Amino acid sequence: MKPIVIVQHEADTGPGHFERYLIERHLPSEIVRVFAGESIPRTAVRYAGICSLGGSMSVNDDLPWIDEELLLLRDADQRGVPIIGHCLGGQLLAKAFGATVSRNVMKEIGWSEVDVEDPELARDWVGTGSSLELFQWHGDTFALPSGARRFLTSRLCANQAFVIARERHSHLGMQFHVEMTPQLIRAWAGDPHGKQEIDAAFERQNGVGVQRAEDLMLDADERTTRMSVIADRIYERWLRGVATGD
């Protein structure tokens, strides 16, 4: 099987539970560490799937690798290679297919309720239920690309997850961070820059949509365990379109 390439944009935004999921199932992967100067692949021909992770930058920033990653995602679509995007990765996926990415009305930082909007599609990707507790950390939001179906939404950010269905696979864009582990949450909440962002957003938004650092970490082990069950459903569904041959 060809490897699944994981595009990591910053040192502290690692693949977390996604990488663990692949390892447990003996699925090959490789990481492109953009933050360390590694080059975005020019083509997806070597890969069975593409995972794009998060990052504190915007897809609208003037960074040379952003256009390179957009080209990779479009090439993957042309070659029938499925894509999964987490937060910034979901925004990159949306932009690659012609949708705009802009500032959200409010930042979402911390644990929040995400609601099911399309029950049929949601049942296929996350199982049954009307709402999910998921982890958020974003200030931007994506519009929906042409042909995309949204199946998760929230009070403060309408577009939480969308699917672009192809003949044999699907691309998935997510605004939330379903890949989080307790270690990642503690690292983000404990980072001085992260704490500064939390405090500033909390004050500006009067606490709406933003949790204090200590609340992010409250019961992090139990919460991520529950979220990982949802993540496993998502990853399992996405992997149906990943080619298992050589």
Compute the distance between CA of residue 226 and CA of residue 232 in angstroms, rounded to an integer: 10
What is the average pLDDT across 67-92?
A: 98
Average pLDDT, the chain: 96
Domain boundaries defined on the chain: 4-239
Domain at 4-239, CATH homologous superfamily: Class I glutamine amidotransferase (GATase) domain (3.40.50.880)
What are 116-159's pLDDT values in tens digits?
Answer: 999 999 999 999 888 999 999 999 999 999 999 999 999 999 99
pTM: 0.96
Compute the distance between CA of residue 203 and CA of residue 47 in angstroms, rounded to an integer: 44
Query: b vs e for 53-83, b when ≥16 Cβ sit within 10 Å of the residue's Cβ?
Result: bbbbebbeeeeebbeebbbbbebbbeeebbb
- The CA-to-CA distance between both ends of the chain, in Å, stands at 5
Identify the pLDDT of residue 128. 82
Compute the distance between CA of residue 121 and CA of residue 212 in angstroms, rounded to an integer: 33
Q: Is the pLDDT of residue 47 over 90?
A: yes
Sorting pLDDT into bands at 50, 70 and 90, what band is 246?
A: very low
What are 192-228's pLDDT values in tens digits?
Answer: 999 999 999 999 999 999 999 999 999 999 999 999 9
Helices 88-96 + 64-78 axis angle, to 10: 60
Strand 49-52 versus strand 4-8 pairing type: parallel
Enter the tokens of residue 152.
């998760």
Identify the pLDDT of residue 158. 97
**Total Cβ atoms within 10 A of residue 206:** 8
Identify the pLDDT of residue 129. 84
Enter the tokens of residue 217.
């970490």
Compute the distance between CA of residue 35 and CA of residue 45 in angstroms, rounded to an integer: 23
Identify the pLDDT of residue 242. 86
Identify the pLDDT of residue 241. 85
What string of DSSP letters covers 154-177?
-SS-S--EEEEE-SS-EEEEESS-
**Total Cβ atoms within 10 A of residue 35:** 13
**Total Cβ atoms within 10 A of residue 91:** 30
